[in-house]
Amino acid sequence: MVDVTPKRKIETQPARKETILSGMQPTGSLHVGNLEGALKNWVNLQEKYWMYLCIVDWHSLTAEYKDTGDLKDKIFQMAVDFLAAGLSPEKCAIFIQSEVKEHAELHLIFSMLISVPTLTRLPTFQEKKDQLDSYGFLGYPVLQAADICLYNADKVPVGKDQEKHIWLAKDLAIRFNNTFQKVFNEPEVLLTEIPLILGSDNRKMSKSFDNHIPLDYTEKQTEKRLLQYYTDPKKVRKGDPGRPEICPIYLLHKLYTPGHKQEIAPPCRTGELGCVDCKKKLVQNLNDALRPIREKRAELIKKPDYIWDVLEDGASRARHRAQNVMEKVRTAMKTNYRKEKK
């Protein structure tokens, strides 16, 4: 049984632990790529660090600002998956970005400390500037820097491709400290090994490509999706030699079949193992691994009040920390007008 009793009184952060900030845009229920790329890592990190885990709904507006009708459900489904995957609301403050308004305040202050050309040179802007040319999109990395610095995070767990964003947060923290007085830690990257997870069409697993395996799929749906998967195109039938190293099914076996080096790769290469049998082994192993998460998910989804309570408690703890940091920011900037000594 899952303990879904709302826990309203949660202890505040123990001083000895370092702080980690991480975030994810609300995309609704999560998939195997999210599980392997982020959730499992966070579940481990929550044991060692104090974690702030932000569902960054304001960030999602940069692309979807006209289409917000399903944001609430997406946030809810995502929070359910966070908990089902093993994140503990007692070890990790899970909250919605827009429920801590200080994110917007620090974003505005940071936006004064950086030039427009610096932002337009960033690769993320260059890659998408033809589709997204709003001020919000330009300022996205500044809001991200504010998300990190608002909690005085010591570390931010990211993959190699995200390192630049943390560099910007560190740069803005230093600029602020040098311009006013020291308020911010200089956040460091906690480099995370993110396994490559490909979808059914051999592209990166993503909800937007509809090539993913959602955590809320039934076992039958998982089987159907895996049987549709791309494999080595040169292995047409059983007996043909295959190349596991280019096969997305083998990438999943690496994660879910402990004996893959002996049981899958050699018979694939000799042709002894056919793709259908290979996929069926994976269906079994993947469904076995996801079953506890799915069972927990099924229980949590029946307790919407509990999920919203977790998010509210998370926001309240996040706000407490953010307000403390913003007090220091205002004091450093001499904009704490009513508290300033005459």
> Is position 273 an interface residue for ligand SF4 (rule: CB under 6 A)?
yes
Least spacing, CB of residue 280 vs ligand SF4, in Å = 10
Q: Which of residues 166-185 bind ligand SF4 (CB under 6 A)?
A: none
> Is position 235 an interface residue for ligand SF4 (rule: CB under 6 A)?
yes
> Is position 286 an interface residue for ligand SF4 (rule: CB under 6 A)?
no
Query: For residues 104 and 42, what is the distance between their CA atoms, to the nearest angstrom?
Result: 25
Q: Which long-range contacts (CB under 8 A, 24 or more apart) does 286-294 make?
A: 286/32, 286/213, 286/222, 286/226, 286/252, 286/256, 287/219, 287/222, 287/223, 289/256, 290/32, 290/215, 290/222, 291/219, 293/35, 293/81, 293/84, 293/85, 293/86, 293/215, 294/84, 294/215, 294/216
> Is position 200 an interface residue for ligand SF4 (rule: CB under 6 A)?
no
Beta carbon nearer to ligand SF4, 167 or 230: 230
> Is position 249 an interface residue for ligand SF4 (rule: CB under 6 A)?
yes
Candidate segments 16-24, 79-87, 104-112, 229-237, binder of ligand SF4 by CB under 6 A: 229-237
Give the containing element (helix H, strand E) for 95. strand 92-96
Query: For residues 60 and 97, what is the distance between their CA atoms, to the nearest angstrom?
Result: 11
> Is position 242 an interface residue for ligand SF4 (rule: CB under 6 A)?
yes
> Is position 223 an interface residue for ligand SF4 (rule: CB under 6 A)?
no
Least spacing, CB of residue 247 vs ligand SF4, in Å = 3
> Is position 226 an interface residue for ligand SF4 (rule: CB under 6 A)?
no
Token pair for residue 195? 């396994």
Rounded to 5 degrees, what are φ and ψ at 338? Answer: -75, -20
Least spacing, CB of residue 227 vs ligand SF4, in Å = 10
Candidate segments 64-72, 75-83, 231-239, 292-300, binder of ligand SF4 by CB under 6 A: 231-239
Helices (H), the chain: 32-34, 40-48, 57-64, 71-84, 102-111, 116-121, 123-128, 135-138, 140-149, 163-179, 219-227, 248-256, 260-263, 265-270, 275-300, 304-333
Beta carbon nearer to ligand SF4, 266 or 304: 266
Least spacing, CB of residue 26 vs ligand SF4, in Å = 33
> Is position 138 an interface residue for ligand SF4 (rule: CB under 6 A)?
no
Least spacing, CB of residue 145 vs ligand SF4, in Å = 42
- Enumerate binding residues for ligand SF4 (CB under 6 A): 231-232, 235, 242, 244, 247, 249-250, 264, 268, 273, 275, 278-279
